[in-house]
Amino acid sequence: MRALDRKLVRELWGMRLQALAIALVIVSGVGVFIMSFSTVDSLYETRARYYREHRFAAVFAPLKRAPEALARRVETMPGVDRVQTRVVAFVSLDIAGFPEPVSAHLVSLPDHGPAAGAGVLNRVHLASGRLPQPGRTDEALISVELARAHDLAEGDTLRATINGRRERLTIVGLARSPEYIYQIAPGAMFPDPARYGILWMGRESLGNALDMDGAFNDLTLTVTRGASVEDVIDRLDTLLAPYGGTGAYAREDQLSHRFLTEELKQQRTIATVFPVIFFGVAAFLLNVVASRLIGLEREQIGTLKAFGWASADIGLHYAKLMLAIVLLGITGGIGLGILLGRGLSHIYMSFYSLPYMDFVLRPRVVAAAAAVSIGVALLGTLHAVRGAARLPPAQAMRPAPPPVYRATIVERLGLQRWLAQPTRMILRHIERRPLKSLLTTLGIAMACGIMMIGGFQRGAIDHMVGVQFGLSQRADLTATFTDPTSGHALYSLRSLPGVEHAEGLRSVPVRLRHGHRSYRTTLEGVAPDGRLLRLLDTDLKPIDLPPEGVVLNDYLAGLLGVRAGDVLRVEVLEGERRTLELPVAATARQYLGVGAYMQRAALNRLLREGDALSGVHLAVDARERRRVYALLKDMPRIAGIVEQAAAIRAFYDTLAQSVLFFTLVATLLGATIAFGVVYNSMRIALSERNRELASLRVLGFERGEVAYILLGELALLTLAAIPLGLAIGYGLCAYLAYAFQSDLYRIALVLERDVYALAALVVIISALVSGGLLWRSLGRLDMVAVLKSKE
């Protein structure tokens, strides 16, 4: 090893704690970078493989009923590759020992032909057991999550109300499907595996049960390479319109697919935002440390240059020192990233219904993390290293001229008589290097800001749920009918014992158009002065639903670019498929979904129908809930029941894991930065002012008084950093709220006081720990040696 490299190794060892503090910040940056990107890549890769192996369809077309022969015509349409017709239905289930309503989507599996069994498209993945035997009317597959929630296995039975008839089904296998990676009941906002699941039955048996013999009510297809999905959808809509088609949609609009895509998008946002902060802080720390180190080694640099070492060699020497720290950080970061990435992928795997998880760590992700870290390190040290290399040797060997101090602004304002000498020293030192003081403050502030993100997620979800379910959607139960039903149903439900209040709703699939923008959603006709569904304005005050016109939620209004007063074109995708021009009466604040609303009576009128209902919102006495469930289960026309409170609970259970994980990561990382910045700043302040402080000790200052000068400055900077950090945290949360908004949900920018408090507390604790470490160093201050040395 060359002598200069030995110097490097020994010096690195000498500054090991400082180096470790910096390396930790880089570990955090690289770790989060790799965690996020590997999770995103793993999910993409896993999803792609799952879609490929199980032939996930590209177009989905629900309809009322069409003869099987129509499938031949679809197959011959240009652009269509494979076609799969199915019979599907929403059914309610009765699971022994579980009184609450459970609903399920029942999907047929082909009995005959080459695709018998799992099907041509959206093939099921059999986790255990076997497929139903053709012709057996009592065999079914159930989704893995539903089985897990109720501890069901092959051989167990359950009851399903199919087309008004109660059928006893034996579970022959547990399965998954690429169509239901994210499982959510219609009308629900969160997955709830205990109350909603998927069932598969043989085509013939299900067809008979649903009176769909020789017919289908659902069609999926894939398109040929290069074909336009839009064109296929247009042709399909025309073809299926007479058969009650409610509008075909592409994979991008398929709920499960879309939710996963949104999740991946968010993960990408995290993958960019966080590492940027970490790398910024790391660059600053490296700069500070390199400047100081080079300052201390001024004479050594001069000596080396005197003996003919070239500037480039000197520069390289210090760059290598910094790179050694960075490489340590990169190595640790890769390890941490893989660990966290695997952990997060695992959480995703349990959150989504995936049969497997291919953990993918692309070499280019690792290479990018390393390249960015090294780039940042070089950028951070460039200035200091270049300064060292450029210093003329003769000047380098002379002691640096005494730093120029001035009276601070506080003193110029005439306040100095209130300040003791040590306090003046603190203020002058801060003011002499405003940029460095500012950057230190900024670094600590960043730590504070990062920690707020963890708390923000939890609080924002609480707020979102509180507003959505406490103020807006307040029904205990929502029952949906298999078909639009006469308004009399409302009265019979209202008269059930235990039902306190009932409000009917009519929902119809529509395409909304405004100018060149359009959006497919459901238009809901609701009670004008409803108690169970209320629309809220931006101040969360209920909106009076006008007799005419539609109310859009704010997100949908934004998507369509409409404001109250604009006229919207509404294409109804059901029944007569009328196209209407309706005024937008108002916009409503909603955190979930993409909703459009109007008075039910007005909607019935526009659809040229009588007093028709698609479902009912119910308020139920908690003590009577079980009885109501039992009664509803026996009602043949009820396709599904959503219990809001239970859904929210289930959502929290699932979410708690990932939020907890995220909060933990954010807090750990925030604390790392805080400690890294504070400890390094203190360490450097000590080395810069070693002589000055030792001199004061010689003059009779006590350790505490000397510590005051050093720690007082950092306390001042830390205190200044906290409000700044809280502001930065607010900004980061605002950015995340903005970046995370999707048509599935929006995150409210709500930050409770405890979020601010926790962030500030962690920063203060990090500062105190650093201060404690420094206090020990101050005890070892060698007064004699310092005064003997020539500088």
Partner 1 sequence: MAGARTSPDPVDGDDAPPPARSAPEHRSPQTSDAVPDAARRDAVFQVRGVTKVYRMGEVRVEALRGVDLALYAGELAVLLGPSGSGKSTLLNILGGLDTPTAGQVRYAGRDLAAASDRELTRYRRRHVGFVFQFYNLIPSLTARENVAVVTEIARDPMPPAEALDLVGLGARLDHFPAQLSGGEQQRVAIARAVAKRPDVLLCDEPTGALDSATGIVVLEVLERVNRELGTTTAVITHNAGIAQMADRVIVLADGRIAEVRRNAIRVAPRELSW
Which of 309, 351 has the CB closer to partner 1? 309
Residue 7 interacts with partner 1 (CB under 8 A)?
Answer: yes
Residue 363 tokens read as 């070499």
Q: Are 782 and 694 in contact (CB under 8 A)?
A: yes
Residue span binding partner 1 (CB under 8 A) among the ranges 4-12, 367-375, 601-609, 707-715 = 4-12
**CB within 8 Å of 658: residues ≥ 6 apart:** 344, 347, 348, 351
Cα 90 to Cα 347: distance, rounded to the nearest angstrom: 29
Cα 32 to Cα 200: distance, rounded to the nearest angstrom: 40
Residue 307 interacts with partner 1 (CB under 8 A)?
Answer: yes
Q: Measuring CA to CA, which residue among 619, 603, 609 is closest to residue 493?
A: 619
Residue 303 interacts with partner 1 (CB under 8 A)?
Answer: yes
**Which of the 8 DSSP states describes residue 592?**
B
Q: Are 514 and 508 in contact (CB under 8 A)?
A: no
Q: Measuring CA to CA, which residue among 669, 577, 724, 708 is closest to residue 279?
A: 669
Distance of CA 330 to the CA centre of its chain: 25
DSSP string for residues in 322-333: HHHHHHHHHHHH
Which of 6, 52 has the CB closer to partner 1? 6
Alpha helices by DSSP H, listed for 210-310, are: 229-240, 255-296, 298-306
Residue 776 interacts with partner 1 (CB under 8 A)?
Answer: no
> Which residue among 67, 164, 375, 392 contacts partner 1 (CB under 8 A)?
392
Cα 364 to Cα 385: distance, rounded to the nearest angstrom: 29
Interacting positions 13-32 with partner 1 (CB under 8 A): 14
Which of 399, 414 has the CB closer to partner 1? 399
Nearest distance from C-beta of residue 429 to partner 1, angstroms? 18
Q: Are 681 and 717 in contact (CB under 8 A)?
A: yes
Residue span binding partner 1 (CB under 8 A) among the ranges 180-188, 295-303, 519-527, 721-729 = 295-303
> Which residue among 115, 276, 378, 397 contacts partner 1 (CB under 8 A)?
397
Residue 6 interacts with partner 1 (CB under 8 A)?
Answer: yes
> Which residue among 401, 414, 497, 700 contacts partner 1 (CB under 8 A)?
401
Nearest distance from C-beta of residue 292 to partner 1, angstroms? 16
The three-point CA angle 404-409-412 to 5° equals: 95
> Which residue among 133, 395, 421, 492 contacts partner 1 (CB under 8 A)?
395
Which of 12, 250 has the CB closer to partner 1? 12
Nearest distance from C-beta of residue 425 to partner 1, angstroms? 19
Nearest distance from C-beta of residue 324 to partner 1, angstroms? 14
737 half-sphere exposure, CB direction, 13 A CA radius: 22
Which of 305, 600 has the CB closer to partner 1? 305
> Which residue among 45, 68, 156, 299 contacts partner 1 (CB under 8 A)?
299
> Which residue among 53, 230, 231, 313 contacts partner 1 (CB under 8 A)?
313
Nearest distance from C-beta of residue 464 to partner 1, angstroms? 58
DSSP string for residues in 506-524: EEEEEEEEETTEEEEEEEE
- The letter for the amino acid at 354 is L
Residue 784 interacts with partner 1 (CB under 8 A)?
Answer: no
Cα 550 to Cα 339: distance, rounded to the nearest angstrom: 50
Residue 308 interacts with partner 1 (CB under 8 A)?
Answer: yes
> Which residue among 113, 151, 155, 312 contacts partner 1 (CB under 8 A)?
312
Please state, as a whole number, how many other Cβ atoms lie within 10 Å of the Cβ of residue 545.
25
Which of 232, 319 has the CB closer to partner 1? 319
**What is the chain's Cα-based Rg?**
33
Nearest distance from C-beta of residue 7 to partner 1, angstroms? 5
Angle, helices 298-306 vs 255-296, to 10°: value is: 70
> Which residue among 302, 341, 449, 525 contacts partner 1 (CB under 8 A)?
302
SS3 (DSSP) at 75: helix
> Which residue among 128, 163, 208, 311 contacts partner 1 (CB under 8 A)?
311
Can you say whether the dihedral through the CA atoms of 389, 394, 396, 400 is positive or negative?
Answer: negative
User: What phi, psi does 469 have (nearest 5°)?
Assistant: -105, -20
DSSP string for residues in 6-47: HHHHHHHHHTHHHHHHHHHHHHHHHHHHHHHHHHHHHHHHHH
Which of 272, 395 has the CB closer to partner 1? 395
Contacts 24+ apart (CB under 8 A), 767-771: 767/444, 767/674, 767/678, 767/714, 767/715, 767/718, 769/675, 769/679, 770/675, 770/678, 770/679, 770/682, 770/714, 771/678, 771/682, 771/711, 771/714, 771/715
Residue span binding partner 1 (CB under 8 A) among the ranges 107-115, 200-208, 394-402, 552-560 = 394-402
**CB within 8 Å of 408: residues ≥ 6 apart:** 424, 427, 428, 430, 431
Please state, as a whole number, how many other Cβ atoms lie within 10 Å of the Cβ of residue 279.
24
Residue span binding partner 1 (CB under 8 A) among the ranges 18-26, 178-186, 274-282, 396-404 = 396-404
Q: Are 54 and 123 in contact (CB under 8 A)?
A: yes
Which of 608, 790 has the CB closer to partner 1? 790
> Which residue among 309, 351, 652, 662 contacts partner 1 (CB under 8 A)?
309
Residue span binding partner 1 (CB under 8 A) among the ranges 325-333, 338-346, 397-405, 749-757 = 397-405
Q: Measuring CA to CA, which residue among 165, 192, 178 is closest to residue 104?
A: 192
Please state, as a whole number, how many other Cβ atoms lie within 10 Å of the Cβ of residue 579.
12
> Which residue among 134, 295, 393, 487 contacts partner 1 (CB under 8 A)?
393
Residue 339 interacts with partner 1 (CB under 8 A)?
Answer: no
> Which residue among 316, 372, 724, 749 contacts partner 1 (CB under 8 A)?
316
Residue 404 interacts with partner 1 (CB under 8 A)?
Answer: yes
Which of 316, 619 has the CB closer to partner 1? 316
Which of 286, 304 has the CB closer to partner 1? 304
Alpha helices by DSSP H, listed for 533-599, are: 554-560
Residue span binding partner 1 (CB under 8 A) among the ranges 79-87, 188-196, 392-400, 453-461 = 392-400
> Which residue among 55, 105, 251, 305 contacts partner 1 (CB under 8 A)?
305
Nearest distance from C-beta of residue 312 to partner 1, angstroms? 7
Strand 139-143, strand 165-176: pairing: parallel
Which of 299, 411 has the CB closer to partner 1? 299
Give the number of residues written for the chain: 791
> Which residue among 17, 310, 371, 409 contacts partner 1 (CB under 8 A)?
310
Which of 401, 700 has the CB closer to partner 1? 401
SS3 (DSSP) at 116: coil
Q: Among all chains, which residue has been given the structure tokens 């034996």?
A: 170
Residue 621 tokens read as 């006495």
Residue 575 interacts with partner 1 (CB under 8 A)?
Answer: no
Please state, as a whole number, how many other Cβ atoms lie within 10 Å of the Cβ of residue 213.
11
Interacting positions 152-191 with partner 1 (CB under 8 A): none
Which of 166, 398 has the CB closer to partner 1? 398
User: What phi, psi does 463 have (nearest 5°)?
Assistant: -65, -45
Cα 431 to Cα 652: distance, rounded to the nearest angstrom: 50
Interacting positions 233-252 with partner 1 (CB under 8 A): none
C-alpha distances in Å from residue 65, one per residue of 120, 467, 566, 571: 20, 39, 37, 21
> Which residue among 48, 339, 367, 394 contacts partner 1 (CB under 8 A)?
394
Which of 389, 669 has the CB closer to partner 1? 389
Residue 4 interacts with partner 1 (CB under 8 A)?
Answer: yes
Which of 698, 785 has the CB closer to partner 1? 785
Which of 349, 783 has the CB closer to partner 1? 783
Residue 790 interacts with partner 1 (CB under 8 A)?
Answer: yes
Q: Are 145 and 98 in contact (CB under 8 A)?
A: no
Residue 306 interacts with partner 1 (CB under 8 A)?
Answer: yes
Number of residues that bind partner 1 (CB under 8 A): 33
Positions touching partner 1 (CB under 8 A) are 2-4, 6-7, 10-11, 14, 299-300, 302-313, 316, 392-395, 397-398, 401-402, 404, 790
